Amino acid sequence: MITKKYRIGELCRMVKGTSSTLKTAPGSYPLVVTAAYRRTADSWQLEGPAVCIPLVSSTGHGDAAIHRVHYQEGRFALANLLVALLPKDPLVCDAHYLYHLLMTKKDAILVPLMQGTANVSLKEQDIAAVEIFLPPLTDQRRVVVQIEELAAQIHEANVLRQQSAEEAEALYPLQLSEAMTPHGEGWRRETVADVIKSMDAGWSPQCDDNAAQGDGWGVLKTTAVQWCEFQPQHNKALPQTLAPIPALAVMEGDVLVTRAGPRKRVGVVAAVRRDEPRLTISDKLIRLRTDRLKIDPRFLELSLASPFSQEYLVQRKTGLADAQVNISQAILKSTPIAYPSLAEQRRIVSELDNFQKEVTALKRLQVETAAELDALSPSILDLAFAGKM
């Protein structure tokens, strides 16, 4: 693809924006601002097509960065933190091609021009002096069509991937709900109080912020209890001046429930998979020790995590809607539990664990697919502007 070198200043008329981002009265015209979305304005300043470049860093804090440039058609208002490039001769420079080119190459040709310490910014004369290479108009338009067709396909793939991710996220709760629904004879219906040997609340010593290390004791944070996942590294170190309370140490088979905190963090449950003799529970956690002749700890964990039990607890939480809420030990004890024989419990737990592994693998694949899709656009643009499409 044959190209010719131009300076942006000779290709485009450059107009700085005049509208305030926050104080412009809303109206029927788009207001191009530095953010990805558009605001509105009651009057217009320019008529596109135009490429709009931010004159200030996207991150601030002394860093040089431009997250995006904008393409805008029709009549529009422009915020005073941007400059618009309007091609002087549309038979020489296609504005849409210029947009894709500058968006692709911004980190190489625009960001290095930014100056300043606290307020990093671009100067219009520096942008005007930037040299770019343009192919003939027919090639510019062909490249734009190819880029936008591929971008549409990538967008469609991302939408499908997101739908798949949402469906995968919903799979396990559905499977859990079905597994915890009594099937046939042999299931007993009791309460948590009927299937445990003990229930304990923790303590609230003044601890260090860093996790316990070495032979020190630690007090578990509520974040140590995730949905059916115990993360013992989430703890605060107990100062040597305070004696630990061994009776509050967590052991393999303990079922931990978050008792107090933000609404979405209360009632979260996890079972401890191995002994943790130097970690104790805080006052925001409740520890359950099951009657193992009746119920497997992992089965109790999954039962309390099931939609039925969670709905029961949600309805009985006390406290402010979006601040600190609580569930009491009495409420937890009263939670209905249905369970089959121990052998059937262990079969259900194993089946759910295997299903969870499949869902986790599916979600991992979706993350990898998302990364591949994100990397596809830059590579397509690079090929396009190298004349290889």
> Per residue in 246-296, pLDDT tens?
999 999 999 999 999 888 889 999 999 988 879 999 999 999 999 999 999
- The sheet that has 255-258: what strands, in order across it? 196-201, 285-290, 255-258, 269-271
* Dihedrals phi, psi of 84, to nearest 5 degrees: -100, 140
Give the side-chain half-sphere CA count within 13 A for 41: 23
CA distance 60 to 69: 17
Which pLDDT value is given to residue 149? 82
Which pLDDT value is given to residue 83? 97
Which pLDDT value is given to residue 335? 96
CA distance 272 to 64: 47
Q: pTM for the complete prediction? A: 0.62
Residues 6+ apart with CB under 8 A from 160: none
Cβ(268)–Cβ(227) below 8 Å: yes
239 C-beta neighbours (distance < 10 Å), count = 12
Residue bearing tokens 């499409």: 389
Low-confidence ranges of the chain (pLDDT < 50): 211-214
Which pLDDT value is given to residue 322? 63
Q: Where are the beta strands (DSSP E) in 171-273?
A: 188-191, 196-201, 218-220, 225-226, 229-230, 235-237, 249-250, 255-258, 260-261, 269-271
Which pLDDT value is given to residue 158? 74
* Angle of the 137-179 helix axis to the 95-109 helix axis, nearest 10: 70
